[in-house]
């Protein structure tokens, strides 16, 4: 029986093998944040000479890549990228996700929007029939925390401030439990339209394009629009 860390190791290596054939000396990758992505970065390091560099969704990932000799670019200096590789806290069968357990959801959403393909890397425990068991992270401007909380409660959620945590954008996170997310795209749009919300952790309007799932029987690859 593989441990969760071994499952993460397997899917991280599979993600590197997935992108390697497409790398050129001019390629810039988008790289996310989290424990599985940490392993992906470590697996990617030995291949740093095969591509130009990466854009990161967090200071944490930027520091890890820089330490391995991978050049980190500012997104403002990048026109596009073939892949954005990141994990998820939950992912459903339609490739909609909850992300933001590490607090980098806004930057993750921004970097992902520039990539041609979002490659989600998860272990099998993250696959769900319906999103919402994992509390939904919502990044908020601090002065709006209480007003946003009241509106999230009206949606049926139970918001709680993530204590002793500030995002890379100097904002706060509300962890919202109890939401029934039957229509992830509609819920994402509704929450994002609340004044004071920077971004919510639903990635449904633009979900994953490719999902690599690490199981006890190997890594499965699923594509939203297989050719």
Q: Which residues are annotated as a binding site?
A: 33-36, 86-89, 99-102, 126
- Indicate if 108 belongs to the active site: yes
DSSP conformation letters of 40-83: HHHHHGGGGGGS-EEEESSHHHHHHHHHTT--EE-GGG-S-EEE
Q: Which residues are annotated as a binding site for substrate?
A: 33-36, 86-89, 99-102, 126
Decide: residue 227, CB within 10 A, 0-12 exposed, 13-18 middle, 19+ buried. Answer: exposed
Catalytic residue among 6, 17, 59, 108: 108
- In the numeric block, which tokens belong to residue 150? 């009241």
User: Is residue 113 within 8 Å of residue 57, measured between CB atoms?
Assistant: no
Count CB atoms within 10 A of the CB of residue 165: 12
Q: Which residues are catalytic?
A: 108
């Amino acid at each position: 029986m593989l441990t969760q860390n071994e499952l993460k190791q397997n899917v991280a290596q599979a993600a590197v093998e997935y992108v390697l054939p497409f790398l050129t000396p001019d390629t810039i990758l988008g790289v996310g944040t989290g424990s599985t992505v940490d392993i992906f970065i470590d697996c990617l390091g030995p291949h740093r000479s095969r591509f130009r560099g990466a854009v990161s969704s967090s200071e944490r990932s930027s520091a890890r890549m820089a330490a391995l000799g991978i050049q980190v670019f500012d997104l403002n200096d990048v026109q596009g990228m073939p892949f954005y590789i990141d994990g998820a806290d939950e992912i459903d069968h339609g490739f909609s996700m909850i992300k933001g357990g590490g607090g980098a959801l806004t930057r993750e959403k921004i970097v992902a929007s520039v990539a041609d393909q979002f490659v989600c890397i998860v272990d099998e425990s993250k696959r769900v029939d319906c999103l919402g068991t994992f509390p939904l992270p919502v990044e908020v401007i601090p002065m709006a925390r209480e007003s946003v909380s009241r509106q999230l409660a009206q949606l049926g959620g139970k918001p709680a401030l993530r204590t002793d945590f500030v995002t890379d954008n100097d904002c706060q996170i509300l962890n919202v439990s109890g939401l029934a997310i039957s229509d992830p795209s509609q819920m994402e749009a509704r929450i994002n339209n609340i004044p004071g919300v920077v971004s919510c952790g639903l990635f449904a309007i633009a979900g994953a394009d490719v999902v690599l799932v690490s199981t006890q029987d190997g890594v499965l690859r699923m594509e939203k629009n297989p050719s």
